[in-house]
């Protein structure tokens, strides 16, 4: 197991915040595309997760995430506007990573 502090080791949102703060996350192709096209900055995504709240959790249809959960998180971006993201915790080579499936400002829908 990687060097995750005991206080967040059990998982859930505290672990997600820790992973994002340590930049131990991956972006889906969809999220990378939106970010590269200038729809948001990575700092906005990171800030919204670290300072946001879990609005709800859903079952992970792929069933390959830790706890088989997806986390819907809404929080403020670096300017205070609400930002929406969905992600899941996954194990990669013995380390946990947070995988961001989708992300955008909460009033926007880029699907």
**Per-residue model confidence as pLDDT tens digits over 1-26:** 457 888 787 789 999 999 999 999 99
The four Cα atoms 44, 49, 51, 55 give a dihedral, to 10 degrees, of 120
The four Cα atoms 29, 23, 25, 57 give a dihedral, to 10 degrees, of -120
- What pLDDT does residue 1 have? 45
pLDDT over 70 (residue 110): no
- What pLDDT does residue 109 have? 60
Region 79-89 average pLDDT? 97
| Average pLDDT over all residues of the chain | 91
Q: Are strands 25-27 and 95-105 parallel, antiparallel or unpaired?
A: parallel
Q: Which residues contact 93 (CB under 8 A, 6 or more apart)?
A: none
Q: How confident is the model at residue 108 (pLDDT cuts 50, 70, 90)?
A: low
Q: Which string of DSSP letters, residue by residue, matches 45-68?
A: HHHHHHT-EEEEEEE-TT--SGGG
Q: Which of these, 18, 43, 42, lies nearest to 95 by C-alpha position?
A: 18
């Amino acid at each position: 197991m990687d060097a995750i502090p005991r206080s967040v080791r059990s998982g859930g949102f505290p672990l997600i915040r820790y992973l994002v703060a340590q930049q131990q996350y991956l972006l889906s192709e969809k999220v990378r595309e939106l970010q590269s096209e200038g729809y948001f900055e990575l700092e906005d995504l990171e800030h919204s997760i670290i300072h946001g709240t879990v609005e709800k959790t859903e079952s992970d249809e792929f069933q390959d995430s830790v706890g088989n959960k997806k986390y819907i998180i809404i929080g403020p971006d670096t300017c205070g506007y609400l930002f929406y993201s969905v992600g899941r915790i996954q194990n990669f080579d013995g380390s946990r990573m947070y995988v961001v499936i989708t992300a955008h400002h909460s009033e926007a829908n880029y699907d």
